[in-house]
């Protein structure tokens, strides 16, 4: 099986590729090749019996949709795991919490002038749901690691949302728990092509944050934590693939 691992920023996939102060994940991968395609770099590797295609897309819905489609159509990936950071709109979410998307939507998609609800276009969906099987694997990993993995609706848009009123509107309109800039566009691609996917986010900003918060430092630590989680999921996926033979 060929599995796509994707993030939006280089920092979100770097733990898979380089060493650092934390345990490097590179030693778990047998690196094969780097392929330049469509203005991006795709890292080809192996993890046990799984073929891995790893890439970061750059920020935003267009780049993430392009990268996801390339991983599935050009590289033939049969599953996609996305890891990154998100902002909280649910006050119960705190900085550092891990959230797995149970649904994803586009908060900036607006053709309400034609009588449609926010986030909807004809022949489309407001909400797209990830693979139930991958959500179950994530739940098992969290339990084994003693990590509290929260589930919730993630809303995607091509803006960095800092306005409290806009955040409250997104939370109310979509019943959203977190916001980011790539998840729903990746979901649209995977859903259209019938490929199972999973979106994991670490909360990077919330109502309880203060002036001492260092985003760059948080991004480094959360990327390590998220990549370790994804690696544990790969282990279970590999066991399932081997068992199905």
Which residues neighbour 187 within 8 Å (Cβ) at sequence distance 6 or greater? Answer: 101, 104, 128, 130, 197, 199
Whether 205 is a known active-site residue: answer yes
pLDDT at 203: 87
Quick check: helix, strand or coil at residue 102? strand
**pLDDT attached to residue 174:** 97
Q: Which residue in the list 12, 97, 177, 180 is annotated as catalytic? A: 12
Give the pLDDT band of residue 21 (cuts 50, 70, 90): very low
Percentage of the chain modeled with pLDDT above 90:
64
Choosing from 129, 143, 205, 235, the catalytic residue is: 205
48 and 233 Cβ atoms separated by less than 8 Å: no
Does the pLDDT value for residue 22 go beyond 90?
no
> Is 13 within 8 Å of 62 (Cβ atoms)?
no
| CB 153 within 8 Å of CB 170 | no
Q: Which of 17-21, 59-63, 229-233, 241-245 has the highest mean pLDDT?
A: 59-63
What domains can you pick out in the chain, each with its CATH number?
2-243 (3.40.50.1580)
Checking if the pLDDT of 227 tops 90, the result is: no
Radius of gyration (C-alpha) of the chain in whole angstroms = 17
pLDDT of residue 56 exceeding 80? yes
- Average per-residue pLDDT for the chain: 88
Quote the pLDDT of residue 242.
62
pLDDT of residue 18: 58
What is the pLDDT at residue 25? 46
Write the pLDDT tens digit of every residue in 101-134.
Answer: 999 999 999 999 999 999 999 999 999 999 999 9
Burial class (CB in 10 A: 0-12, 13-18, 19+), 131: middle
- Look at 208 and 113; give whichever has higher pLDDT: 113
Query: Using an 8 Å Cβ cutoff, are 99 and 154 in contact?
Result: yes
**14 pLDDT exceeds 80?**
no
Cα 33 to Cα 36, 44, 52, 188, 204: the distances in Å are 10, 5, 11, 28, 32
Question: Is residue 12 flagged as an active site residue?
Answer: yes
Given a contact cutoff of 8 angstroms between Cβ atoms, the answer to whether 203 and 97 are in contact is: yes
How far is CA 54 from each of CA 8, 59, 176, 223, rounded to the nearest angstrom? 11, 16, 28, 14
pLDDT of residue 13: 74
DSSP string, 219-238: HHHHHHHHHHHHHHHHHHHH
How many whole angstroms from its chain centre is CA 231? Answer: 14
pTM, 2 dp: 0.90
Structure tokens that stand for 227 in this block = 């990549």
Maximum average pLDDT range among 31-40, 47-56, 172-181, 206-215: 172-181
Q: Which of the pair, 204 or 3, is modelled with greater confidence?
A: 3
């Amino acid at each position: 099986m060929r599995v796509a691992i994707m993030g939006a920023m280089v920092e979100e996939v770097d733990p898979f590729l380089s060493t650092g102060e934390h345990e490097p994940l590179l030693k778990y991968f047998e690196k094969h090749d780097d392929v330049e395609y469509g203005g991006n770099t795709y890292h080809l590797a192996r993890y046990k019996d799984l073929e891995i295609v790893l890439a970061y897309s750059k920020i935003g819905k267009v780049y993430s949709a392009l990268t996801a489609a390339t991983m599935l159509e050009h590289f033939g990936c049969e599953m996609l795991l996305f890891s990154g950071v998100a902002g909280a709109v649910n006050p119960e979410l705190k900085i550092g919490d891990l959230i797995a998307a149970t649904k994803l939507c586009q908060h900036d998609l607006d053709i309400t002038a034609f009588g449609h609800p926010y986030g909807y276009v004809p022949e489309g969906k407001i909400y797209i749901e990830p693979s139930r099987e991958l959500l179950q694997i994530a739940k098992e990993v969290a339990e084994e690691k003693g990590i509290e993995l929260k589930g919730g609706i993630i809303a995607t848009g091509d803006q960095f949302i800092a306005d409290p009123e806009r955040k409250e509107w997104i939370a109310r309109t979509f019943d959203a728990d977190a916001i980011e800039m790539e998840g729903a566009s990746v979901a649209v691609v995977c859903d259209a092509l019938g490929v199972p996917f999973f979106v994991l986010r670490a909360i990077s900003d919330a109502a309880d944050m203060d002036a001492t918060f260092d985003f760059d430092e948080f991004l480094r630590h959360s990327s390590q934590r998220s990549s370790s989680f994804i690696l544990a999921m790969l282990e279970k996926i590999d066991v399932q693939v081997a068992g199905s033979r």
